[in-house]
Amino acid sequence: MKSGGFFRRKRKTEPAASASNEAAKSAISQTSRVNTTSSNNASAATPSKTATNAAARPDQTKSTAATKSIAATNSQKLANAIKAVKKKPPQLNVEDFSIYKIDEDTVVSTTERICKNVPPPAWSTPSDAELFIDEEKFLPNIEFLRNHFIREGRLTEEQTLKILTKATELLSEEPNMLDLEAPITICGDIHGQYFDLMKLFEVGGDPANTRYLFLGDYVDRGYFSIECLLYLYALKINYPKSFFLLRGNHECRHLTEYFTFQVECRHKYPESVYEASVESFCALPLAALVNQQFLCVHGGLSPDLKTLDDFKTIDRFTEPPVSGLMCDILWADPSETFGTDRKEESFLPNTVRGCSYFYTYSAVCDFLERNNLLSVIRAHEAQDEGYRMYRKTRNNGFPAVITIFSAPNYLDAYKNRAAILKYEKNGDNYVLNIRQFNSSPHPFWLPNFMDVFTWSLPFVGEKITDMIISILNICSREELDEITEFDPIPMSALLASSETSLPASSTNTPAKTEASLPASVEPAHSKVTTAPSTLVYASSTGSIASKDFDSNISSISEPHEFNKNDLKIDTSIVHENEDMSDLKNSALRNKILAIGRMSRMFQILREETETLGELRTKSGGTLPQGALLAGVDEAKSQLRSFQEAREADIQNESMPPSPNERTPIEAEKMRRRSRALSQDETLNSPVLKEILAKVEAEEAAAAAAKASTSSAGTK
């Protein structure tokens, strides 16, 4: 009984069982009944038990069916889950934005350096023992010179002049038209791309074992022109019988002054190096006949070129003229409709170059047939693939004209490939093989060899004006439009009133006078303590402080109280001070607005200097006409493909104006700029106009001096 009572008491005190426990008990009970029923059926239970089991059989059937249904459902779910895991689709390929594809063959990671390590630049010039293998014969050490220039090293003036002078002597001994035999590798324009020139020799072969013919344009447009020229001349000195150089249209004083070569020489070497380089240009041969089959020139044909003997009549030791046979050899181009010409003329005016001619398909075929040649091989034009083969001739089925261009990614904008033409032996026959290559990384130069301090001036100017504006913008425009609450009033103006009375000593009671105060001044008491160099202010509370006031109140040794009756202030002085405040506020507002315009100007300069510098560099120093009509961003976005870059640069393919012609052109540009500035209200400032006038005067003086120097040099 005790134990039963204990359990009964415990049941009363314990909380009720959870629903889950009840469900578990019910399941056990059902299972027990099922087992009991099975046992009774097997042992032939008593009639009463049989009847009970018979009554419970419908519930048992329902329970078994429900259990089977749940099990089947769970099995199906499990099977579906396994199938889903097995047939799980592959993860989507997420694009890796750190991978950048430069071209078809080059893929780099933006999280890593393209150049893993950079050798230190060559700070010192080499000694003659390092540079020359044989100092008596002035034979340069090619391998040393190559690596020295890769490290952006420079030579001394004497060493540079030795190479230029020796090369000029060798070139002067050669005829106007070279007669060369195969095998030989023919190369096109280089244009100051020294690091791509090194790639060319990797593709074409070591000059010590390979014969080379270059078709001109070694300088200008690129920033390593003097390195290209000196290295090519060094190869010529070392291999005079297997290394040959022809003259291009850029090998002259006129174009090198207009483009980048003169600026580069003056930046890296003394003026004498540039003069020696120009002198060497005049010694370069004009043409080459390869294997008695191919005429190699820089530009093309001329109406005055009938036979190969006409080359002998040219005096090449001079500046190229603007017309005639020598000009056409350097400047002429195949016609834009070469091979589909419908006009009967053989030569058409060259509107792209501004001089010379376009020669047609019929003109080339006639010349080749007349001289028993296969083709004309030339350079002079950038090509997207580095080469172009024109329509085949009428007789032998060989391309009438082949253009080779060996400067990849010309101006860092064209995105073109470069090519060289290898005319080599294959068994018993000679074949022409074209090998292409892409551009190589190279050091970066700011436009026109600008130093970083000059380049950063717009940025510095913008930041300085931002600082000034931040200081001046302590007062908002609304505050500036109102009269400042505290405005300086000269103490002498206050003391000028004969009615102003001060105490004689600190012990005496101050004399009381009538005070005439403006309506804005309310009666109030204020304390004044003597202190030297204290400013005087009139405030809405009517308080004052003194400046150099010791002489007037020297007798005051302790703070003295004044009330509104101590001073009588002339109202006209206050109104005059209000007018002064308005003027000062107006002047301050004008200063803020002027500095704001200046800040905007510096901001625009900073944002567009790099873009314009890049466009100007890619355009040869001068932006094409109308290049900025649609905006700088639009002009920059247009340089996306070879054709677009070429169209943007087409103006710089023409012969530039002479120095005498350039002066009036620049003067007209200055006049147009002045008119534009005078119409711009945001720049309508006397100070700015004075600055612009000085700049224009300096530019005009520099242009005139440059023109006179060029004229003297030409003479």
Question: What are 219-265's pLDDT values in tens digits?
Answer: 999 999 999 999 999 999 999 999 999 999 999 999 999 999 999 99
Alpha carbon distance 268, 159 (integer Å): 14
Average pLDDT rounded to a whole number, residues 121-125: 91
- Band (pLDDT 50/70/90 cuts) for residue 280 is very high
Alpha carbon distance 272, 280 (integer Å): 12
Among 26-35, 528-537, 553-562, 644-653, which stretch is predicted with the lowest mean pLDDT?
528-537
- Residues annotated as catalytic are 250
Highest mean pLDDT among 85-99, 495-509, 568-582: 85-99
Specify the higher pLDDT residue, 60 or 337: 337
The pLDDT of residue 652 is 80
- Band (pLDDT 50/70/90 cuts) for residue 542 is very low
- Band (pLDDT 50/70/90 cuts) for residue 5 is very low
- Band (pLDDT 50/70/90 cuts) for residue 318 is very high
Specify the higher pLDDT residue, 348 or 527: 348
Q: Does pLDDT of 627 surpass 60?
A: no
Specify the higher pLDDT residue, 649 or 486: 649
Reference 483, options 580, 573, 581; nearest CA is: 581
- Band (pLDDT 50/70/90 cuts) for residue 295 is very high
**CATH number for the segment(s) 142-437:** 3.60.21.10
Alpha carbon distance 649, 221 (integer Å): 11
Q: Where are the alpha helices (DSSP H) in 190-270?
A: 194-204, 225-238, 253-258, 261-268
- Band (pLDDT 50/70/90 cuts) for residue 687 is low
- Structural domain boundaries in the chain: 142-437
Average pLDDT rounded to a whole number, residues 105-128: 83
The pLDDT of residue 137 is 76
- Band (pLDDT 50/70/90 cuts) for residue 457 is confident
The per-residue pLDDT of the chain, averaged, comes to 75
Cα separations in angstroms, 604 against 469, 594, 625, 631, 632: 16, 15, 21, 12, 11
Alpha carbon distance 595, 567 (integer Å): 42
**pTM (2 decimals)?**
0.62
Average pLDDT rounded to a whole number, residues 560-574: 50
The pLDDT of residue 161 is 97
From edge to edge, which strands make up the β-sheet containing 418-426? 243-245, 212-214, 184-187, 418-426, 429-437
